[in-house]
Structures are given as C-alpha cells and as structure tokens.
C-alpha cells in the first residue's frame, strides 16, 4: 500500500516537474523580450513557436497552472494520508491522476498547435479551440476529486478519533483543500456556464466582464492555493530541517483558517479598471485584500522565530548568530530560506499593488510579472524545488545526485529572480506594458516607457541568462537523481521530516489551547467561508448579469506582430 501511495505521489511530482522544465526553458525568451531583444524572429524558434504569444501562453500555463496543480495534488494527497496513518482508496487516487493527465493532454494539443494562444488568463472574447477549455475543465475537476478524497478521509479520521485534535499537517492540508473547493467555484462556473456553452455554439456570444469576474473569483485565491503548500513546508518541516522547532503551533492553525475564510472574496482587486463594478465593491475588496496579507505577516514573524531558534540551537549567538549558524550548505534549507527572503519583496509589492490609488500606475505594466515572479516564481516554485531535493529520495530510495550543484541552482534561481524582479518592477513604473512583444508596433506606442528603461531592461535580460543556468542545473540534479539506481530504504534514509512535537498522536481537544479548540471545527468554518464569498460576490455578479451583453468571439493571438488579442472578429 505505501509503495503504491508513494508511486502515485511520484507520478504527480514528476509530471509537475516535466511541465516546469518546458515552461522554464521558455522563460528566458520572455526576459529577453523585456530587454528589448526579440528572439522570436530566430529561424529555429520560428519553426517551433508561431508567435511571442504562443510562447508566453505555454510559459504561463505550464508553470503557473500545470506545474502547481500536479505538484500540489501529489504533495497534499501524500502528506495528510501519512499524517493520519489512513488507508485511502488507491484505485481512486490513480484514477484522479490519470484523469488530470488526460485533461492536460487534451488541453496541450491546441496549445501546441497555436489554437489556444490565449495567455494563462484565457479572457474571452478571445476564443480558442474547444479542446483547450475541455482539457482545462477536466484538470480542475480532477483536482476537486483529490480535494474530496482528502477531506472525506479526514472526516473518517474524525469519526474514528472523537475529541482529538487533528494533527497539524492534516489540519493545514484539509483547510487548504476546503479553500480550493470554495475558490474554484468561480472557475467551475466560468467553464460550465460561460465558456463551454459558448465555444460549443450553444450561446451566440459571451459577456467578457462576467467571465473575467468569475475568473478572478478563483484567480486571486488560487495564489494561496499555490502558496499554502509551501507554508506547510515552512511551518511543519523547515524548523526541523534547520535544527529548530515550530514557534507556535496554534498560530499556524490560525493562519490557515484565516486563509480559508479570507482568500477568495478579494478578486476584484484585479478589476479596479473594469466598468460596471461599483467603487464601493472595489474598495471593500481592497480592504479584504489588506486583511489577507495578515496571515502572511504572522507567518513571516513565526518562521523567522523558528529559524532564529534553529540557529541558536546550533550555537549561534549575538546579533548575526541567527544568520551565520543556519545550515547554509543544505540545498533543502537554503532553497526555502531564499524563497522566503524574496517573498518579503513579493508580499510588500502585492500590498502596494492592492491599493486602489496606486493600482492605475502599474496595472497591465511590467510591474505585474515582476510581482508574480517573486511570489509564485520563488516563494512557491523555489520552495517546491527545494522540497524535491528530499521528497524524491524519500519517495524513491535514491540519493540526491550532486548536492553542490543543487545548492548552486538555488542561489542562481534566487539571484536570477531578484534581477528579474528589480528590472520588471522598474520597467513597470516607467510605463512599459506587460504582454507586449517588443517590436516595430509596440515601440512607438510605448516610446516614453521604453526610452528611459535601458538599465532595468538590461537587468531583465541578464536575469534570463541566470535563470536559464539555474533551471539547467536544477533539472540536471532532479533528472539525474530520478534516473539513478535505488540504493536506500527510503523510509529509513530519508524519513518524513516531521518533528513529532507538532503532531503528537492522541491529543485530546479538551486539554488543547483555546486557539486550537476554536480552529478545530473546520466544517463549520468552511460553511462561513462559503457564506462570505456569496456575500462579497453575489451582489456584484447579480448586477453584471442584469447588464449582460453578449459579444461574438474573436481571433486569438496568432501572428508575431499582433499586439492586440482580438484583432479579427470571427
Ligand atoms: Fe499578487 C497580481 C496583490 C500575494 C501572484 N499576484 C498577481 C498576479 C499573480 C500574483 C500571478 O491587489 C498576476 C495576475 C495577472 O496575470 O494579472 N498579491 C497581492 C497581495 C498579496 C499577494 C496583497 N500574489 C501573491 C502571491 C502570489 C501572487 C502569494 C503567488 C503565489 N497581486 C496583488 C494584486 C494584483 C496581483 C492587487 C493585481 C495587480 C493588477 O493590477 O493586475 C499578499 O498576499 C502578500 C502578503 C505577503 C506578505 C509577505 C510575508 C513574507 C514572508 C516571508 C518571511 C521571510 C522570512 C525569512 C521568515 C506580507 C512570509 C527570514 C530569513 C532570514 C534568513 C532572516
């Protein structure tokens, strides 16, 4: 049974990293574009990719949507199952993996054929091939089945262990899957009620604003669906890996409950510039966005405390002892610390971006990709990469190949992302647009921005080279490890890095702290989360529906020169 559980997890994780590998190889092309170098004119690339937009669509979909979903599905199926000591239905687990992969393959065909060059936000009325929407819907449905399996396994555990505290890793995983079940409703509604009826010709057109609003219902919360699996590692595993302990277990539970309640009703901060949504709702979502930063701030101080504790336990003294005595040669620890350091900038940038007054300055500029590369590109992706350095040996019984290269890859990734982030935020402030091919068409239109951007453009170009090196060294280590022979008893050589103190078995709720008792009724809190979303999105969607107007679909980004998505009405 354990071997099969590990195998299915390994399939999820390896599929995720194959997607990331292709996505990462396409990354430097984007960085060079923001440095003013149009590599898409290169004859070899021209044979592979029809346009800048096809490259960007593949990069965004593979990295942000496919990599994250596969990794998280494997990671958050495996951890709580082990944590609860549960026996799950393995046929069902394999079935969801196969379903998710089938969805991916169906969506991949039109993407690769340039028939779904819609960028990772696939805003209508840009219209792609129906297979893209069908494949994406199947993928999301599969993730919901993983969510259901974990939540139901936990419900079963609660029945068998009445009056006991849910172990921490299970608590975090279950609350996260519950959050996904709330926040994915927007995307599910967009797919089933808007996109699929439209692409199959059952509706004459589409209301772009309704689709966009449903998209961002899921679209902001999805960033926490990506982030929180990294938080699980930071809270539950990193303290032990660094040699310390978790500062406060109840605080970790509070953090996850705050995300369960508050992640979703914030999406309108992506739509400050959109008509037909009142300023009142925009302001409410802005304040709720500031509120959702609080659990991350709690995490920052809590994890910094754990790291300080680790360094002191390792003999660190004085002001800087906390830094110097951390295990700086361990790629697992270093990768995660660097991911966190970059997230300080990513988080601060996000809070600034959320401000109603500042948003118009940077909305749709290069600032935005700058922001999300030091959130999802580092806090999340780099943490998952660092996790792979122990998870792959743990699942396979193989030893990490070339740990020094692994360590170097973490520093390179961090450095590359820092260059990219500084360059892109700076370009954005100067008015360089996002998602625009640097070309004879864009340059005169955005002349003012590009004219003053030589230094940030150079930084962005350099970042592309560093990140390519980082990616190549990381994937060398990962694939060489996967292809090496099995040498260890995985459970003994690389056990789960649990500290027993965070999840002692058989802990009674009665003796637990008030915070643990208050956060334990996850099912009731889940109902509150649904109610909050209904309250915060219901009136907005009702008004949009009353004012709906359908427009026909239009052509997707097809040519190298097209700066505008819908340049041809169907
Ligand atoms: Fe964001 C746009 C606001 C977090 C991802 N965001 C995006 C987009 C993506 C994205 C992909 O309000 C682009 C979407 C598109 O294509 O249009 N974001 C925020 C806010 C937060 C935030 C307020 N974003 C994230 C995370 C992401 C992510 C996380 C991915 C995982 N974002 C926005 C807004 C927009 C936006 C606007 C729309 C802009 C527009 O106009 O289009 C907050 O949740 C951030 C809170 C975070 C913190 C940081 C805590 C720091 C920690 C590390 C501590 C370090 C330690 C290390 C302990 C407060 C936890 C110590 C170590 C030692 C060695 C000492």
Q: What is the 3-state secondary structure (H, E, C) of 475-496?
A: HHHHHHHHHCCCCCCHHHHCCC
Determine the average pLDDT of the residues in 386-415: 97
> What global pTM score does this model have?
0.96
- The more confident residue out of 319 and 265 is 265
Backbone torsions φ then ψ of 213, nearest 5 degrees = -65, -40
| pLDDT for the residue 444 | 79
Ligand 1 centroid distance, CA of 224 (Å): 9
DSSP category for residue 320: S
Other Cβ atoms within 10 Å of 28 Cβ, number: 22
Quickly state the pLDDT bin for 564 (edges 50, 70, 90). very low
Q: To test ligand 1's pocket by mutation, which of 341, 344, 350, 424 has the most ligand atoms within 8 angstroms of CB?
A: 350
The confidence score (pLDDT) of residue 557 equals 56
Cα–Cα distance for residue pair 332/391, rounded to 1 Å: 10
pLDDT classification of 73: cutoffs 50, 70, 90: very high
Q: How far does the centroid of ligand 1 lie from the alpha carbon of residue 1, in Å?
A: 39
Atom of ligand 1 nearest to the CA of 60: 16
d(CA 464, CA 451): 21
350 lines ligand 1 (CB under 6 A): yes
pLDDT of residue 502: 63
CA angle, corner 330, sides to 328 and 336, nearest 5?
Answer: 85
Mutate to test the pocket of ligand 1, among 336, 375, 382, 436 (most ligand atoms within 8 A of CB): 375
Cα of 494 vs centre of ligand 1, distance in Å, is: 32
Q: pLDDT: is 17 or 499 the higher one?
A: 17
Task: Identify the residue whose C-alpha is closest to ligand 1 atom 12.
Answer: 354
The reported pLDDT for the residue numbered 553 is 86
Q: What is the DSSP letter of 570?
A: -
pLDDT in tens, 342-379: 999 999 999 999 999 999 999 999 999 999 999 999 99
Q: Residue 566 pLDDT > 80, yes or no?
A: no
The span from the CA of 174 to the CA of 193, in Å, is: 28
Q: Binning pLDDT at 50, 70 and 90, where does residue 570 land?
A: very low
Q: How large is the average pLDDT for residues 269-281?
A: 94
- Is the ipTM, as predicted for this complex, more than 0.85? yes
User: Quick one: tokens of 463?
Assistant: 């970042």
Show the tokens assigned to 488.
């260890």
Tokens of 52: 């800048």
CA distances from 174 to 143, 184, 189, 473 (A): 13, 15, 23, 34
DSSP state of 234: I
Query: Which pLDDT value is given to residue 559?
Result: 45
Could you tell me the two tokens for 387? 């996790």
The answer on pLDDT for 569 being more than 70 is no
Distance 362 CA to ligand 1 centre (A): 15
């Amino acid at each position: 049974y354990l071997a099969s559980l590990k195998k299915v997890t390994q399939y999820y994780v390896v599929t995720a990293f194959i997607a990331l590998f292709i996505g990462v190889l396409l990354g430097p092309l984007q960085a060079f574009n923001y440095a003013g170098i149009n590599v898409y004119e290169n004859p070899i690339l021209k044979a592979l990719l029809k346009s800048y937009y096809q490259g960007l669509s593949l990069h965004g979909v593979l990295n942000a949507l496919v990599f994250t979903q596969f990794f998280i599905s494997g990671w958050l199926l495996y951890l709580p199952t082990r944590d609860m000591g549960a026996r799950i239905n393995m046929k069902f687990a394999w079935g969801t993996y196969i379903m998710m992969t089938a969805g991916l393959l169906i969506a991949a065909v039109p993407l690769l054929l340039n028939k779904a060059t819609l960028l990772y936000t696939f805003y209508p009325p840009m219209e792609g091939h129906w297979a893209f929407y069908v494949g994406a819907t199947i993928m999301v449905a599969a993730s919901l089945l993983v969510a259901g399996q974990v939540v139901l396994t936990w419900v079963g555990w609660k029945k068998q262990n009445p009056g006991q505290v849910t172990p921490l890793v299970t608590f975090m995983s279950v609350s996260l899957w519950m959050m996904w079940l709330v926040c994915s409703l927007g995307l599910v509604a967009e797919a089933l009620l808007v996109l699929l009826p439209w692409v199959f010709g059952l509706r004459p057109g589409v209301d772009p604003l309704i689709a966009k609003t449903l998209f961002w219902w899921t679209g902001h919360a999805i960033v926490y669906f990506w982030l929180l699996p990294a938080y699980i590692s930071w809270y539950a595993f990193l303290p032990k890996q660094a040699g310390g302990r978790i500062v406060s277990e109840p605080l970790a539970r509070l953090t996850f409950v705050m995300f369960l309640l508050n992640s979703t009703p914030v999406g309108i901060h992506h739509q400050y510039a959109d008509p037909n949504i009142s300023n009142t709702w925009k302001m409410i979502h802005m304040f709720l966005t500031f509120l959702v930063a609080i659990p991350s701030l709690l995490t920052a101080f809590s994890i910094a405390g754990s790291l300080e504790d680790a360094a002191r336990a390792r003999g660190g003294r004085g002001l800087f002892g906390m830094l110097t005595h951390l295990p700086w040669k361990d790629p697992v620890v270093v990768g995660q610390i660097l991911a966190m350091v970059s997230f300080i900038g990513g988080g601060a940038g996000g809070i600034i971006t959320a401000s109603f007054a500042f948003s118009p300055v940077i909305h749709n500029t290069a600032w935005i990709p700058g922001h999300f590369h030091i959130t999802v590109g580092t806090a999340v992706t780099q943490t998952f990469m660092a996790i792979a350095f122990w998870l792959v040996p743990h699942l396979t019984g193989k030893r990490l190949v070339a740990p020094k290269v692994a360590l170097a890859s973490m520093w390179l990734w961090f450095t590359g992302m820092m260059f990219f982030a500084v360059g892109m935020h700076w370009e954005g402030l100067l008015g360089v647009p996002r998602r625009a091919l640097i070309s004879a068409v864009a340059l005169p239109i955005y002349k003012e921005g590009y004219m003053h951007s030589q230094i940030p453009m150079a930084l962005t170009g350099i970042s592309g080279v560093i990140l390519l090196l980082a990616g190549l060294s990381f994937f060398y280590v990962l694939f060489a490890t996967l292809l090496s022979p099995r040498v260890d008893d995985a459970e003994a050589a690389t056990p789960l890095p649990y500290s027993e103190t965070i999840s002692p078995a058989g802990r009674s709720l009665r003796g637990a702290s008030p915070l643990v008792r208050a956060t334990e009724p996850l099912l009731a809190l889940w109902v509150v989360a649904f109610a909050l979303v209904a309250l915060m999105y219901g009136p907005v969607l009702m008004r949009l529906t009353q004012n709906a107007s359908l427009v026909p679909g239009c052509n997707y980004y097809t040519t190298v020169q097209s700066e505008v998505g819908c340049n041809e009405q169907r």
